[in-house]
Amino acid sequence: MLETDPDPVGIDSVEFFGRARQRLGFDVPPALTDPSIVPPSGDAGTDRMWQIIAKERPLRPAAVLIPVVDHAEPTVLLTMRAAHLADHAGQIAFPGGKIDPTDASPREAALREAEEEVGLDRSFVDPIGYLDLYATGYGFRILPLVARVRSGFDLRINKAEVDDAFEVPLAFLMNPANHQLHSRDFRGAERTYYAMPFAERNIWGATAGILRVLYERVYLP
């Protein structure tokens, strides 16, 4: 099924980045490292899943970069994870990963991971702020960092982690008509998740969920 939110008012890149700077910040939520706090999703089934996972799996703090490339028509840079990885193999993702003890902040972790995975030089990246914390069924607590990326960068794909990198129009990802809402069973309870298929790419799960949060935080009044 498709989401039925009203279409957002069209905004250009200047307004998008302006709104993002006004609405986002760099405060790190305590739930990133406190397993007793489970970030709410707004979906009762998903909240129940996350509460169960929080008790069964060790907390895995992570950070991802949402690189919004400042073209005339902005795009979002995404990756396809390598097929041999243990977690989320072959899935569409943002550059990012676990926060290491040596990372000064989640922001530094996201920038480091983007450099390691796809060779995105941080001199092209202007961090704007964090979205809401997002939890996954694998025990990850993901803090997404929204950033403006200046065009003209070159990528160097690290095949040990990523099979491909590509850009998707921001207008497509922020159009609620493209936000498919699916459901599945988790231990006897229904939980919902988003999918945003684009051409041959199936953007779903945590990546689509985080993009939906971006839409709600920046595009909605």
Which position has the higher pLDDT, 153 or 58? 153
C-beta separation of 163 from 90 below 8 A: yes
Q: Is the pLDDT of residue 88 over 90?
A: no
In a domain, 180, yes or no: yes
* pLDDT one-digit tens code per residue, 44-80: 778 888 888 888 888 899 999 999 999 999 999 999 9
Which CATH number fits the domain that encloses residue 196?
3.90.79.10
Among candidate residues 67, 163, 65, 164, the one with its CA nearest the CA of residue 112 = 65
Classify residue 7: in a domain, yes or no: no
Residue 113, in any domain of the structure: yes
pLDDT value of position 102: 96
Residue 85 to residue 90: CA distance in whole angstroms: 8
Residue 164 confidence (pLDDT) above 90: yes
Looking at the domain assignment, is residue 1 inside a domain? Answer: no
In whole angstroms, give the CA distance from residue 93 to residue 110: 13
Q: What are the backbone angles phi and psi of residue 67, rounded to the nearest 5°?
A: -85, 105
Residue 5: inside a domain:
no
CA distance 38 to 47: 8
Tell me what the pLDDT averaged over the chain comes to. Answer: 90
Is residue 4 situated within a structural domain? Answer: no
DSSP string, 26-44: -PPPGGGT-TT-----S-H
Q: Cα–Cα distance between 18 and 219 in angstroms, integer?
A: 11
Q: In the chain, how many domains are there?
A: 1
149 domain-assigned: yes
Q: What percent of the chain has pLDDT over 90?
A: 68
Domain containing 45: what range? Answer: 13-219
- Taking the alpha carbons of 69, 125, 140, 84 in that order, is the dihedral positive or negative? positive
In a domain, 124, yes or no: yes
